Structure 1
């Protein structure tokens, strides 16, 4: 902020927004280091305020509440109830879906239109068989983002190219790259299409 003498004694709105976006994206990739689901919601709340998007954020929260059902323990509780597993990376992937929709998610790799169309074309039939994680990477290329680090149990996502389209794909395993992963379509009560539980792959 610049005072009447021309002296700059603070950060600009753009600098604050950039700072919050950077930390939000870091927290999505390493949720355990930042405080888990509560921290993700705080960062999203702060980014929404800085981006003048509080209304959109509140609408996302209402939609999330509708999708996750009666769980009183947030997205983590919804995953626990549904899958018996509340992997922090899977929880982060739900909030990453929101960030992606709002244009706040910074991907490590974006799909081309051709790659996106190919996933849409083959995913339903491809999900009918168990796959290796290496099969997923070979077929669809490197993931666009990792949630929770680089270990074999980390959920991996292949989001769509446009920020406003939410048909992302993800996979996670409970072992090495040679471990089998079960591909499945998202059930209606799943909190998010971004992630399957540990041990599954869920191309959309």
Structure 2
């Protein structure tokens, strides 16, 4: 019989895989399922608290994180949605980092995020400026969107949202926005391209 620790590890590993490739698990439905299971099998146990926390942070509505993200970013926003689930996972120590920034690197990302997002950048310039991310959401195919997160074990994740149009409009994804911390909407900093690509809302 599996121990409690083995069950916890299993779901945490599943959550980490799902956060990185959300399209492989059905998008937000899969993320919701996995985070709910991790919360249930860990010491927190309160399966309502995480949804309340995301709602209070302005990152979730009655239809999920998608209810916020799709008002701000183009297409279905699957990778951007996953970044919110990654935020909560990181806060509780469940997110496995591919690269852990030292204090100097982390401070530099935080200090430069706003100014960096004041101009447009292709994906290569994000990597050149900040290096490989602590967590990459989405694949490496330049035809599709991805999200880069930079952090250390203790601080919030600084995110950079990259997009390549509905039919691979660019040679490589371009930066639409960056953010660090909560509340979700107020922390977003759009690039000029990000402002141009914001969805047109119909009421």
The reply to whether TM is greater than 0.5 is yes
Displacement over 6 Å in runs of 4+: 194-197
TM-score of the two chains, using structure 2 as the length reference: 0.77
The structure 2 residue matched to 1:170, chosen from 160, 167, 172, is 160
Distance 1:36 1:29 in 2: 11
1-structure distance, mates of 2:84, 2:78: 10
Indicate how the Cα distance of structure 1 residues 183 and 35 shifts in structure 2: closer, same or farther if over 3 A, else same. closer
RMSD over aligned Cα, in angstroms?
Answer: 3.1
Larger Rg: 1
Instruction: Report the counterpart of residue 140 of structure 2 in structure 1.
Output: 150
- Pick from 64, 76, 86 the counterpart of residue 96 of structure 1: 86
Task: Note if contact 2:150-2:157 (Cα within 8 Å) is conserved in structure 1.
Answer: yes
Structure 1 residues 47, 148: closer, same or farther in 2, change over 3 A? Answer: same
Question: 1:189 deviation in Å?
Answer: 6.7
- Cα 1:11–1:180 change in 2 (3 A) is closer
Distance 1:75 1:59 in 2: 15
Query: Which residue number corresponds to residue 41 of structure 2?
Result: 50
CA distance in 1, matches of 2:107, 2:45: 33
**Cα distance, 1:68 vs. partner?**
3.8
2:17 paired residue number: 26
Question: What's 1:111 paired with?
Answer: 101
SS in 1 for 2:19: helix
Any conservation in 1 of the 2:158–2:178 contact (CA below 8 Å)? no
In structure 1, list runs of 5 or more residues that go unmatched.
Answer: 1-9
Match of 2:114 among 112, 124, 134: 124
1:13 matched to 2:7? The reply is: no
Please, what TM-score do these two structures have when normalized by structure 1? 0.77
Instruction: Please list every run of 5 or more consecutive structure 2 residues that lacks an aligned counterpart in the other structure.
Output: 195-203
Q: Deviations over 1:110-141 (max 9, x none)?
A: 11111101112222222211122111100100
What residue is the counterpart of 1:5 in the other structure?
Answer: none
Contact residue 60 and residue 66 of structure 2 kept, 8 A: no
Q: Deviations over 1:70-124 (max 9, x none)?
A: 8432111221223343221111111011001110011211111111011122222
